[in-house]
Every structure is written in C-alpha cells, then in structure tokens.
C-alpha cells in the first residue's frame, strides 16, 4: 500500500497541506516527532474508536503540527497534552494561516453526529455518555424518549446561564437550604425599640399579661395598642428583663425567617419550573440535575446551525435566546413576609411562658417593685430623664435625672456646673431618696454636693 493510500487529503495548495493519517506509518511519515512515534507501545491509542488525527504542514518553512480529537471531543497536541479548541484555532491561524472555521470543522465537537448515531442504534448509551464532558448519564428507558442528564459541575453556573444574576443565584441557594437571613435579631430589636414587632401580635391572653406587667412599670400610663406605648414599655422591660426580652425577639426572628424561607422557596421553585416547562427542560432541582430529551438537543443544533459546537456551547447559545423574565427575588425579598402564614398559636405560647417568668420575678418584689416604678414615673413626668435643668434656687447649678436605681430605689442624679466658657462640668452621679432630692432642689446649700465623695 502506497503512502497516498494511507492518508486522506483534506486540503492542499502552494502554502499548506492538511492530511488525515489513516495509519501509524502515515502519522510517523509526516510527523516523525509525534509522541506516538517514539513510544510505539502506545500506538494502539491512534486507533481508538471515534479518534481522528489531522496533520498541518506549512510548505513554506516546513513547520508541522498534529492534533488529535478524541471521542469525548478533547483535543491533544503532538505531545499528547490536552489543548483547547480556541488555542488550536489561534495557533493554526497565526502560524499556518488556517481559517478558524476550517479548524472547527476538523477538530470541533463531533457530538452532533454521535447523537444521531445513538438515535440510529449505531452506538450505545455508554459511548454517548463519554462523548461530552457535560453528560452525567444517558437515560434510555423503553417507555419514554431518551434523555441526557447534564452535569454543570457547579449548578450556579447553570442558573446564571438561564438568566439569573449573582444575587439571585445566592438567594436561591440559601432559601433552598432554608437558611436565608431575611431578618436579624438586631433589626427586630430596633423595630421593637420603635414600637413595632411582637407586641402587635400578642393574643388576648398575652395582652392581659403585658397590661399587668405595665401596671408595675408604667402605673400612670393607660395600656393601649400604639407605637408610643409599646416603645415605652419595651425600653423599660429591656432595661429590667433584657435576657427575657431577647428570648421574645429571637423567637419572633426565627419564626419570621422560617416563614419567609418557606414562602420564597415555593415561589422561586414555581417560577423556575414554569420556565423549564416553557423551554423544554426537565430539571430536578432537589438533586440539581438537568435533563434534556435527545430530540430537543438535536432540534437546538438545527436551530443554531453549528454541528461542530460542543454540548456546552450549543446550550449557552440556547439559553441566551431563551432567557425569560426570571429573578428579582433578592431585590424583592421582603415581599415574602406574610404574618398570616405564621403559627401564631405556637408563638404566643412561647411568648406567654416568657411573660409568666417576668411576672413571677416582679411579684417576688411585690409592693417595693411597684413603689420604685411609681417613683420612676413621678420623676420622669416632672423632669424627663437626661434633660438638663436648672435648680430652682441656684441659677449656676444644674442637674439631670438619669433614672431610678432598682436595687436601692433611689433617684440617680448627675450634677452639672458651667465653666467660664459656658460649657458644662459634670460631677459624679449622686443618689437621693425622694425627700432629699426635693430638699436638694430647693436648698442645695444644705448639701456639700460638689465636695461629696
């Protein structure tokens, strides 16, 4: 057999020859530096099923390059190193003047033809599975059309391909695991400080408990459901029973997050399933597996018109043209809050237990506790805490009430004087019972207050 019979001529002009060697002898005749030619014991790879080799010969300077495409569409150079089609196209264009479309026609993916061979029963499912790195499994059941399961390695990549931005991909992943933090303890604490939050969702029994508690803490203020009232009672409760108020806030935060995660998961899944149905995709979101009927893939190749594209390339083109109005979930995440979906009975049961503990602790103090808070409101109404006032008898002496010390029942007072520049000098904090506080206001000279230790 002559050497001409051992090759297939692909292209030949004055500058360039492209041949396909059909035997190892032909490969080594035209490219004696090929890896196989120095390692004859590996020559069986040359004849691997679905493998094709092309030799590019520059007639001007004698340069020779060989590239081999495997059945899985990987490309190997003459040293058997894997290279990308993009790099091969650039190399052959720069050094051999080969048009990029010619290179793709020769070395591009053969997956389209392998699909057709599978449909004609010329190759089996295992061979097709090895034909493209994106394929996880070929599902070929007798009772349904053959499908290909795709493995994107990173499911986020797939979600981005169908049109979701980075924020929505992250949002989808977190709500799928029910761990997106819609609300935080800090944000709910700030809400309660401003008169919002759990108090508005107390049932009748817990409202009565809160009203009873407020009779101790705010004896002069009538109980009512208002932002101003809840703002006042929360601040007093938190100062006195911070640990238990933390429990009330955390219970609320956890419940709202659970409800919002559940609602978001249902919503985004429904939107994705509707999209997949519209574009012909069969997606198992729980296992992050994408399935496509083989007939649909063949149709996509036909629509795109590039039979040498890899499965990944053809799907990228497919998704680009099929992107729907998906997403916006991250931006509109607070739309998923719906208090009607919360288990208010369970929440109120937990809140009620915490309120019972607060009541027990307050009742242990009995009348002394009530007396302290009666004094609290009496002084607060008259002087407003932390506001600077002049003493009635001495225009150069100022004071501000800081609060009531619950352990002693005494009024905490900061004494202030002005320096020559009109700025306040603050003395240490002093404590008075109600009688001595009034005496200080009207006869401060009786107290060596600025010299007290």
How confident is the model at residue 296, as a pLDDT?
A: 84
Q: Which residues pair with 7 in a beta bridge?
A: 21
Residue 58's Cβ-count burial label (10 Å; 0-12, 13-18, 19+) is middle
Counted residue by residue, the chain has a size of: 453
Of 7-21, 106-120, 207-221, 335-349, the range with the lowest mean pLDDT is 207-221
452: pLDDT strictly greater than 50:
no
- Averaged pLDDT of the chain: 89
Q: Can you tell me the mean pLDDT for 394-419?
A: 86
How confident is the model at residue 209, as a pLDDT?
A: 93
How confident is the model at residue 222, as a pLDDT?
A: 87
How confident is the model at residue 318, as a pLDDT?
A: 78
Q: Which of 62, 97, 67, 61 is nearest to 82 (CA)?
A: 67
Q: What is the DSSP letter of 38?
A: G
Q: Can you tell me the mean pLDDT for 257-265?
A: 95
For the beta carbon of residue 307, count every other beta carbon within 10 angstroms.
17
Backbone angles phi, psi at 184, to 5 degrees: -125, 160
Q: Which of 173, 200, 198 is nearest to 188 (CA)?
A: 198
How confident is the model at residue 284, as a pLDDT?
A: 80
Q: Which residue has the higher pLDDT, 46 or 30?
A: 30
How confident is the model at residue 453, as a pLDDT?
A: 38
Most confident by average pLDDT, 28-37, 288-297, 368-377: 28-37
Q: Can you tell me the mean pLDDT for 240-253?
A: 95
Q: What is the signed CA dihedral for 192, 194, 195, 199, rounded to 10 degrees?
A: -10
How confident is the model at residue 450, as a pLDDT?
A: 55
pTM over 0.85? The answer is no
The position carrying tokens 């120095």 is: 38
355: pLDDT strictly greater than 90:
yes
Q: Domain-by-domain residue ranges, the chain?
A: 3-108, 384-451
How confident is the model at residue 231, as a pLDDT?
A: 95
Q: Which of 353, 12, 57 is nearest to 206 (CA)?
A: 353
Lookup: tokens for 208: 């009565």
169: pLDDT strictly greater than 80:
yes
DSSP string, 70-97: -TT--EEETTS-EE-HHHHHHHHHHHH-
For the beta carbon of residue 260, count every other beta carbon within 10 angstroms.
24
How confident is the model at residue 98, as a pLDDT?
A: 95
Q: Can you tell me the mean pLDDT for 201-208?
A: 96
Q: Which residue has the higher pLDDT, 206 or 153?
A: 206
Edge-to-edge strand ranges of the sheet holding 75-77? 7-12, 16-21, 52-58, 64-69, 75-77, 82-83
Most confident by average pLDDT, 89-93, 359-363, 417-421: 89-93
Would you place residue 133 in the very low, low, confident or very high pLDDT band (cuts 50, 70, 90)?
Answer: confident
CA gap 453, 435 in Å, rounded: 21
Q: What is the DSSP letter of 423?
A: P
Please tell me whether residue 147 adopts helix, strand or coil conformation.
strand
Backbone angles phi, psi at 90, to 5 degrees: -65, -45
Q: Which of 326, 383, 316 is nearest to 134 (CA)?
A: 316
CA gap 261, 428 in Å, rounded: 51
For the beta carbon of residue 104, count every other beta carbon within 10 angstroms.
17
Q: Which helix (H) or strand (E) holds 240?
A: helix 227-279
């Amino acid at each position: 057999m002559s050497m001409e019979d051992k090759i297939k001529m692909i292209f030949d002009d004055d500058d360039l020859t492209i041949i396909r060697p059909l035997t190892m002898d032909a490969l080594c005749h035209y490219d004696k530096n090929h890896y196989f030619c120095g390692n004859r014991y590996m020559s069986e790879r040359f004849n691997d099923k679905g493998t094709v080799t092309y030799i590019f010969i520059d007639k001007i300077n004698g340069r020779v390059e060989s590239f081999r495409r495997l059945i899985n569409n990987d490309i190997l150079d003459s040293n058997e190193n894997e290279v990308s089609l993009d790099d091969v196209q650039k190399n052959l264009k720069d050094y051999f003047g080969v048009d990029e479309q010619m290179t793709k026609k020769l070395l591009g993916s053969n997956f389209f033809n392998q699909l057709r061979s599978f449909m004609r029963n010329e190759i089996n499912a295992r061979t097709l599975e090895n034909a493209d790195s994106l394929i996880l499994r070929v599902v070929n059941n007798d009772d349904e059309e053959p499908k290909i399961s795709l493995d994107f390695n990173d499911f986020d990549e797939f979600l981005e391909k169908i049109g979701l931005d980075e924020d929505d991909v992250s949002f989808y992943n977190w709500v799928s695991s029910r761990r997106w933090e819609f609300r935080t303890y800090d944000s709910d604490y700030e809400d309660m400080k401003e008169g919002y939050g759990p108090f508005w969702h107390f049932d009748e029994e817990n409202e009565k408990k809160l009203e009873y508690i407020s009779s101790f803490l705010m004896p002069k203020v009538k109980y009512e459901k208002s932002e101003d009232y809840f703002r006042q009672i929360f601040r007093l409760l938190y100062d006195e029973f911070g640990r238990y108020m933390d429990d009330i806030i955390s219970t609320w935060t956890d419940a709202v997050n659970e409800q919002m995660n559940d609602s978001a998961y249902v919503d985004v899944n429904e939107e994705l399933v509707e999209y997949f149905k519209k574009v012909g995709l069969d997606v198992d979101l729980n296992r992050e597996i994408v399935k496509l009927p083989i007939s649909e893939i063949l149709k996509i190749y036909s629509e795109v018109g590039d039979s040498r594209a890899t499965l990944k390339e053809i799907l990228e083109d497919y998704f680009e043209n099929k992107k729907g109005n998906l997403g916006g979930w991250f931006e509109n995440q607070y739309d998923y809050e719906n208090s009607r979906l919360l288990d208010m009975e369970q929440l109120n049961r937990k809140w009620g237990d915490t309120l019972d503990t607060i009541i027990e602790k307050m009742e242990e103090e009995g009348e002394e506790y009530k007396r302290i808070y009666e004094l609290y409101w009496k002084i607060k109404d008259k002087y407003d805490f932390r506001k600077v006032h002049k003493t009635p008898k001495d225009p150069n002496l100022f004071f501000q009430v800081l609060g009531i010390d619950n352990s002693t029942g005494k009024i905490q007072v900061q004494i202030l004087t002005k320096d020559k520049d009109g700025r306040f000098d603050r003395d240490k904090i002093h404590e008075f019972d109600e009688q001595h506080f009034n005496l200080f206001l009207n006869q401060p000279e009786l107290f060596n207050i600025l010299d007290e230790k």
